[in-house]
Structure 1
Amino acid sequence: MAKFIFAEKFFLEDMVAGPGFLEINDGRFGSFSEQEPGGSAEVIDYRDLWIAPGLVDTHIHGFKSHDVMDNDFEGLNNISKALLSCGVTSFLPTTLTSSTESLNQVVEMIGAIYTRVQGAKIKGIFLEGPFFTEKHKGAQNVTYFEDPSIDKLKKWQELSHHMIKKIAIAPERKDTAEFVEYCVKEGITVALAHSDATYEETKRIVEKGASIFTHTYNGMSPLHHREPGMVGAAMNLKDVFAEIICDGHHVHPAAANILMNVRGRKETVMVTDCMMAGGMPEGDYQLGEFPVVVENGTARLKTGSLAGSILQLKDAVKNVVKWGIATPEEAIYMASTAPAKSVQMDDECGKIAPGYAADFIVLSPELELKATYLDGDCHYRV
């Protein structure tokens, strides 16, 4: 039997509407109407509140003291459940540069159990590395850096039951053109990261099919007026998406605004790059094989370099609105529909549209999260 959500405002696929009623039938979205449903239909009353699509985090390493690289189902399940408190209903567990053996084990574990997690849905795996270069290594372990290998990717796909949805590489490594062409053919989205590539090197790989810039500004050759670098490519090339970490530490709000203005908010993807200390007190943690200190809102290596973030995606949405660089509609789009589009998942998540799984969040007009729904049922409530 259908039920209906009544609320002041709905962030639908192509418009903002409301007040009105959103139909949910068998765990999927039905139609939206401003007219009250007749008969004895169940109506869930969220008057004065807003309904938005569940957020989609396509770049996240951990949360609540668990890390994807721990290779532990219970830890991954705890990440999945805890992400509901961040407004996230779909995510890509993200690996770090590590040994081939370690990556084999992690992708095999995720591929075997991803349907059993009890919170935010695992929609695939993001391999962040190991095909990077050293100058902008960030918190990636250079010991394991190497040139892209189609054979290794084939093995990871086999072990994970074809769950690899996204992989990040440095454009200047050997054989990247052939590697990108293979990924595109296999439906794997190629991102560019941790690289000192020139603008021309980056452009060449984008022309082969790479389509995402990973945490733009961070871990890449900067914009210079005589060598635009990867940052310039992220701003200027056509038909690509630019990730950005909007915690106020990775990127200055003005720089985030510049990227959004030149790239367009439809092609800007807000991610967290969150590590295990997300949702936890300040103190000492690990990111892969590196010790990390969390204080003053940042996670840093002992060298002082940023090491992922402790950002929650719901807070990224609030931040860009508070900074005056996005409307609520734009902010929600950059944290839901745009991420899903960037990895070719917008046919199954990131939107409130008829036939989609009824994964949505309830927000106050101040963008405070009030509830998170999966398949039409409330799984988290403040």
Structure 2
Amino acid sequence: MIVKSRRIYMEDGLKDGFLVVEDGTIKEFLPRTDNEEIIDYGDMRIIPGIFDTHNHGTCGFGLSGEVTQEEIKGYLKGCASQGITNVFPTAERSAIAAVARAAKEHYEGASILGIHSEGPWLNRTGEKGVRTGWPEVSLETAKQMVSHGQGLLKLVAMAPEIPGIAPLAEYFLNKGVVLAMAHSDSNYEEAKRAYEHGFSVSTHTGNVMTGLHHRDVGGLGAALLNDKVDCEVICDGMHISLEMLEIFFRIKSTERFMMISDCTPFSGAPEGVYRGFEEGMTIHVSKDGFVLTDTGRLMGSSQPVLYGIGNLVEKLHMPMEKVWPMFSLNPSRKYGFERNKGSLKALKDADFVVINDEYRTIATYSMGKKVYDAKEGPVFNPDFLREWRQKEV
């Protein structure tokens, strides 16, 4: 297969020419060819495939409860429709085993490279100071999570200040699981100590953590000031304002940021009013695609990483050459996949996305296979709309 574009973002720069794919990998880049059997994308951008390491659901498909294989198949196809070629599904504990099984089936869509568990040990504060508590701190539960993951549990996020959490952190680290600080009420010194003792990722940096204050820079300051910490970041412009994103990228090298979506099943949902996941809750999906409760609180993210890419390039005027490593190369490097993934380079896997100037997916290729084409039409789960939508707008 030979793919042509005037804007191909290779590891060594922006190229105009032909990407030659063979047996699922990039064989070479050619500035010209006499071969007439090419797929010509004209002036559309070809970017490395998005690697989303924090994604709870999308397009009406989720990863909670007793999730079915059909649900996971729909989820992976939905991910591909948003330019994701590789993903760490963020699965609830009850869904870890099912996601691990799905990874072995190689369903059409994004590829499962690992599993992410956000929690269950979280110290959720920040939303009007309401503490929701956490489940029993149990080493047996941690062992069960690793067992159900069948070697695929790669990332566990938790609050390091929770009493009794240290033995669990040590256990996960000994099993090769990366630890992320998440939903934490820790001050700067507490967060600093956690990073000194094995935590190495900041979950959705800036959200549900203690913020910057001139007498204690909190968990956010600890993440930004530590050059060894890799920071997840949501770039939808609502979870973090664009001005704060600019501050992030001035304080810390973009090499230490990983763009994530934190998407939920509401990602891609049409505008309207929906029933919430908690009894009595109502969800509003805005015309801009944001998901809000009746109180105006954000319910995860509804916009994919691709939307955030558009924000950084078009609104913060960052060159795509500086942005694409944050959604592809940096997470690949962090989690040990850089040899084969993370950039467009000869001998690496042919994971790439074709996008238009509105930052919409035209086609997604995973290991040289087209796993999504915009011509297919909507991939949103119709059952989700029938069950959850209360009113169209």
Same fold (TM > 0.5): yes
What runs of 5+ residues in structure 1 fail to find an aligned partner? 97-102
Q: SS where residue 114 of structure 1 aligns?
A: helix
Identity of aligned residues (%): 30
Give, in angstroms, the shift of residue 250 of structure 1. 1.0
Q: Does 1:182 align with 2:171?
A: yes
Give, in angstroms, the shift of residue 285 of structure 1. 4.3
Q: Distance in 1 between matches of 2:103 and 2:278?
A: 21
- Per-residue displacement from partner, 1:281-332 (whole Å, max 9, x unpaired)? 2321445778451333432344443220111121111111122252212222
Q: Distance in 2 between matches of 1:354 and 1:289?
A: 52
Which among 6, 13, 21 is matched to residue 8 of structure 1?
Answer: 6
Query: Per the alignment, do residues 137 and 186 of structure 1 end up closer, same or farther by CA in structure 2, a change over 3 Å counting?
Result: farther
Match of 2:321 in 1: 329
Match of 2:101 in 1: 112
Match of 1:363 in 2: 355
Which among 44, 50, 58 is matched to residue 53 of structure 2?
Answer: 58
Query: Per the alignment, do residues 286 and 119 of structure 1 end up closer, same or farther by CA in structure 2, a change over 3 Å counting?
Result: farther
Asked if the contact 1:130/1:146 (under 8 Å) is kept, the reply is no
Asked if the contact 2:63/2:95 (under 8 Å) is kept, the reply is yes
Q: Distance in 1 between matches of 2:277 and 2:332?
A: 26
Which among 260, 281, 300 is matched to residue 308 of structure 1?
Answer: 300
Query: Per the alignment, do residues 286 and 75 of structure 1 end up closer, same or farther by CA in structure 2, a change over 3 Å counting?
Result: farther
Asked if the contact 1:222/1:232 (under 8 Å) is kept, the reply is yes
What runs of 5+ residues in structure 2 fail to find an aligned partner? 375-393
Which among 77, 81, 87 is matched to residue 83 of structure 2?
Answer: 87
In the superposition, the TM-score normalised over structure 1's length comes to 0.88
Q: SS where residue 319 of structure 1 aligns?
A: helix
Match of 1:100 in 2: none
- Per-residue displacement from partner, 1:103-135 (whole Å, max 9, x unpaired)? 2x3111111222332211111111001111142
Q: Distance in 2 between matches of 1:349 and 1:176?
A: 33
1:1-382 → structure 2 map (5 Å cutoff): 3-13=1-11, 15-34=12-31, 36-37=32-33, 40=35, 42-70=37-65, 71-96=67-92, 103=93, 105-116=94-105, 117-136=107-126, 142=132, 144-147=134-137, 149-281=138-270, 282-287=272-277, 291-296=281-286, 297-364=289-356, 367-382=359-374
Asked if the contact 2:82/2:360 (under 8 Å) is kept, the reply is no
Query: Per the alignment, do residues 345 and 131 of structure 1 end up closer, same or farther by CA in structure 2, a change over 3 Å counting?
Result: farther
Query: Per the alignment, do residues 33 and 363 of structure 1 end up closer, same or farther by CA in structure 2, a change over 3 Å counting?
Result: same
Q: Distance in 2 between matches of 1:339 and 1:224?
A: 29
In the superposition, the TM-score normalised over structure 2's length comes to 0.86
Q: Distance in 1 between matches of 2:192 and 2:63?
A: 31
Aligned AA (1:306) = L
Q: Distance in 2 between matches of 1:230 and 1:122?
A: 30
Asked if the contact 1:52/1:332 (under 8 Å) is kept, the reply is yes
Q: SS where residue 184 of structure 1 aligns?
A: helix
